[in-house]
Amino acid sequence: MGTARAQQMARAVTEVPLQPASLDIWDKKYRLKTKQGEPVDATVDDTWSRVARALADVETTPELREKWHERFLWALRHGAIPAGRITSNAGAREHKPATSTINCTVSGTVTDSMDDILEKVHEAGLTLKAGCGIGYEFSTLRPRNAYVSGAGAYTSGPLSFMDIYDKMCFTVSSAGGRRGAQMGTFDVSHPDVKEFIRAKREDGRLRQFNLSLLITDGFMQAVETDADWPLVFPVHVKEKDEVDLTDDTKVVWREWPSHDNYIVRDDGLVACKIYGHVRARHLWDMIMVSTYDYAEPGFILIDRVNEMNNNWWCENIRATNPCGEQPLPPYGSCLLGSVNLTRFVRDPFGPKAHFDMDEYREVVKVFTRMLDNVVEVNGLPLAKQRDEIRSKRRHGMGFLGLGSTLAMLKLRYGSEEAVAFTEDVSREMALAGWEVALELAHEKGPAPILVKDYTVTGDMLRKRPEMVRDGYKAGDTIPGRVLHAKYSRYMQRVAEVAPELVDALAETGARFTHHTSIAPTGTISLSLANNASNGIEPSFAHSYSRNVIRPGRKTKEKVEVMSYELLAYRAFINAEAKPGSDDPSEKLPDYFASADDISPMQHVDMQAAAQRWVDSSISKTANVPTDYPYEDFKDIYFHAYKKGLKGCTTFRFNPAAFQGVLVKEADLANTTYRFELEDGSVVEVKGNEEVEYDGETHTAANLFDALKEGYYGKF
């Protein structure tokens, strides 16, 4: 056994063959084909070669292009995985010239006028057509029943306009063959916040959106102290004579994303009229109940997002990309990539199992240059988007396969050792990336906003009182590189472990303003990483189903998949291993954890360990069992707030609302769906049973969802 096992362990884990579902998704989503459907990429390695060539061609000389083509291809073969838009579209201009390499965008601020609302719909349509996801804030629109003087009527409110964006997204994505993705954010102090919380309880409404509340520190403090919470909206300049701005029972001053036509103080705060009050804990409970039953709205701690933003002095962030890992300013865009951590495990499941940190750091360094090159081939449809990404050059590198990697290292997800490992790989990714940011700044120049000089304002001094201690006063001039490296809260944290690096970045400037974020990576994990666990998550289960959209099918298709760590364990240790088996010859070790095995607090602790070194944000979902007690559930969000997270999302399987993308056979078998036929009779079917309907075979659960939500036959 010893010699044979040593030979097995000497092999790269990458020799575990791609499972059929992984190859199928690569073929459908990432393999380049002609418009006639003929493959251009013969193999996955051909896909990597195409991407490496396209991004190396950005370099300025033939010698550099050849050098970096080889290095980029090496990194791609050793765990670097660009996000879906890059993998699908880089080097594909001959076959699909109007597509983008950018996953994440945020709309320009949707201001409170009909012209601008409809203009932003148009811009969003062009953005979605190019293959990008998009986020918007809708609490910039005045509340329902507010008087519109120009129209001589009362407004229908923000939610009614969100319906327009929702229908536009469905139409554009249906025409383009790829599901559109949108995020709608909403301030917790807006007078229509209750309507926003309840919006998705109506079947089929806003289904092209993820929804998240912008939660402020003030609201969390009001919940803690059981205080009343004011519901507010800015005072228009035309209303200034109708409100006493000095009466703090009628007006509060607060930050607002737009200053146009509003009353603004010298410190940048906007006068907001108080429309009414609600008990903060009552609103909190309403949010928690909705999240428990419907998994929405999500929870964005917006004050923390802005406090920790590297571009704190020139951005006011109010929205994120559709999955939440990229908080972005108006017209902000960000490209993504993930490093597959499973590729660096040596002697997996063995007595000497360990992580090759040296090779990991080298892949991160090469990948950093590769992602920086994507900025030059961004393919964004709007000039303002292109200007934003070129001036800041932000990218979001993260990792995937964390849960799978921990199992291969024989560590249980959520344990103290797993938390420590998560912080280690996050910190090393950050440090390696900022080292390359300095090298590239010397070679190619810093991000343009870091070269500019800025005038010190009262708003800056309010946000960074240490600038006053350092002798700055309003009206002084300060370089962007200093505001970024010395006064960014995140870079101050990096300086705790790499002070000389941060000093050099303050002197020279960085090539990019942001380097890290952790995306959900669902499809690239399933396909290109052989179903390694998504992003920062544990594996959902070790044998389960994914619901995937197939062109031409009237409902989603259920596809059976296995976790990467199960495939690897069968390949290297025990070919007979089975999830859930108590037979000693088949049983998996205890460190094979899945999502439901992890407590919600452990989910939060793992996210917090990574967030310390991630300069943008993290898309993470704390999965909780269907029978998880509500009283325990609602504590998750306060734990996230106390741990310093920027956001939090949970998912509890609730077939009355939806079943989700990932499903376990046991959940489907335990759920009965009721179908009412045309003659009035009722048929009851288990969720995992197959049903013949309209000339196709469907699982009962997918057919029920498609009919209830209104997307049947529309893919």
CA atoms within 13 A on the CB side of 589: 17
Q: What is the value of pTM for the model shown?
A: 0.92
**Residue 173: is its pLDDT beyond 80?**
no
Q: Determine contact, residues 521/622, Cβ cutoff 8 Å.
A: no
Q: What are 376-399's pLDDT values in tens digits?
A: 999 999 999 999 999 999 999 999
Q: Which residue has the higher pLDDT, 546 or 146?
A: 146
Position 572 scores a pLDDT of 95
CA distances from 269 to 12, 430, 564 (A): 57, 34, 51
Residue found by looking up tokens 């390949």 in the block:
571
C-alpha to C-alpha distance for 136 and 386, rounded to whole angstroms:
18
**Residue 151: is its pLDDT beyond 90?**
no
Residues in contact with 266: Cβ distance below 8 Å, sequence separation at least 6, in sequence order = 458
C-alpha to C-alpha distance for 569 and 531, rounded to whole angstroms:
14
The tokens for 675 are 């179908």
Instruction: Flag whether 561 is in a domain.
Output: no
pLDDT average, residue stretch 155-165: 96
Q: How many domains does the chain have?
A: 3
Residues in contact with 293: Cβ distance below 8 Å, sequence separation at least 6, in sequence order = 652, 654, 656, 657
Position 659 scores a pLDDT of 57
Position 135 scores a pLDDT of 98
Among 158, 182, 157, smallest CA distance to 170 is for: 182
Position 662 scores a pLDDT of 64
Sign of torsion, CA 565 567 568 574? Answer: positive
In three-state secondary structure terms, 384 is helix
Position 204 scores a pLDDT of 84
C-alpha to C-alpha distance for 114 and 223, rounded to whole angstroms:
35
Q: What are 247-270's pLDDT values in tens digits?
A: 999 999 998 888 989 999 988 899
Q: What are 459-501's pLDDT values in tens digits?
A: 999 999 999 999 999 999 999 999 999 999 999 999 999 999 9
Position 570 scores a pLDDT of 96
Residues in contact with 459: Cβ distance below 8 Å, sequence separation at least 6, in sequence order = 267, 268
pLDDT average, residue stretch 428-445: 98
Last residue of a domain, one of 320, 335, 350: 320
Position 624 scores a pLDDT of 84
Residue ranges of alpha helices (H) inside 395-479 are 402-408, 416-444, 448-451, 458-463, 466-469
Q: Determine contact, residues 261/171, Cβ cutoff 8 Å.
A: no
pLDDT average, residue stretch 501-529: 97
CATH number at residue 292: 3.20.70.20
**Residue 104: is its pLDDT beyond 50?**
yes
Q: Which residue has the higher pLDDT, 634 or 570?
A: 570
pLDDT average, residue stretch 521-536: 95
pLDDT average, residue stretch 604-624: 95
Burial label for 344, CB within 10 Å (0-12, 13-18, 19+), is buried
- In eight-state DSSP terms, residue 59 is S
Q: What are 44-75's pLDDT values in tens digits?
A: 999 999 999 999 999 999 999 999 999 999 99
Instruction: Flag whether 53 is in a domain.
Output: no
Least confident residue range of 138-152, 227-241, 455-469: 138-152
C-alpha to C-alpha distance for 124 and 127, rounded to whole angstroms:
5
Least confident residue range of 1-10, 479-488, 521-530, 653-662: 1-10
**DSSP codes joined into one string, 256-290:** -S--TTB-B-TTS-EEEEEEEEEEHHHHHHHHHHH
Range of the domain at 469: 450-508
Last residue of a domain, one of 303, 320, 337: 320
Per-residue pLDDT band for 634 (boundaries 50, 70, 90) equals: confident
Instruction: Supply angle C-alpha 598, 601, 607, rounded to 5.
Output: 90
Instruction: Supply angle C-alpha 40, 44, 46, rounded to 5.
Output: 50
Instruction: Flag whether 240 is in a domain.
Output: yes
C-alpha to C-alpha distance for 552 and 554, rounded to whole angstroms:
7
Instruction: Flag whether 418 is in a domain.
Output: no
- In eight-state DSSP terms, residue 79 is T
Instruction: Indicate whether 314 and 454 sit together in one domain.
Output: no
**Residue 10: is its pLDDT beyond 80?**
no
Q: Which residues share a beta bridge with 651?
A: 623
Position 175 scores a pLDDT of 45
Instruction: Indicate whether 249 and 110 sit together in one domain.
Output: yes
Residues in contact with 495: Cβ distance below 8 Å, sequence separation at least 6, in sequence order = 501, 502, 503
Of these ranges, 622-626, 646-650, 651-655, 695-699, the one predicted with the greatest mean pLDDT is 646-650
Last residue of a domain, one of 288, 320, 352: 320
Per-residue pLDDT band for 282 (boundaries 50, 70, 90) equals: very high
Buried b (16+ CB within 10 A) or exposed e, 423-453: bebbbbbbbbbbbbbbebbeeeebbebbeee
In three-state secondary structure terms, 642 is helix
Position 689 scores a pLDDT of 81
Among 440, 325, 322, 448, smallest CA distance to 387 is for: 448
Instruction: Flag whether 350 is in a domain.
Output: no
Peptide bond into 297 cis (omega under 30): yes
Burial label for 74, CB within 10 Å (0-12, 13-18, 19+), is middle
Sign of torsion, CA 684 689 692 695? Answer: positive
Per-residue pLDDT band for 177 (boundaries 50, 70, 90) equals: low
Q: Which residue has the higher pLDDT, 126 or 627?
A: 126
- In eight-state DSSP terms, residue 374 is H
C-alpha to C-alpha distance for 394 and 651, rounded to whole angstroms:
30
Position 700 scores a pLDDT of 80
Position 178 scores a pLDDT of 62
What is the percentage of the chain residues whose pLDDT exceeds 90?
75
Instruction: Flag whether 602 is in a domain.
Output: no
**Residue 448: is its pLDDT beyond 60?**
yes
Instruction: Flag whether 68 is in a domain.
Output: no
Per-residue pLDDT band for 11 (boundaries 50, 70, 90) equals: very low
Instruction: Flag whether 681 is in a domain.
Output: yes
Arithmetic mean of pLDDT over the chain? 91
Residue found by looking up tokens 């917790």 in the block:
188
Q: Which residues share a beta bridge with 662?
A: 546
Q: Which residues share a beta bridge with 414?
A: none
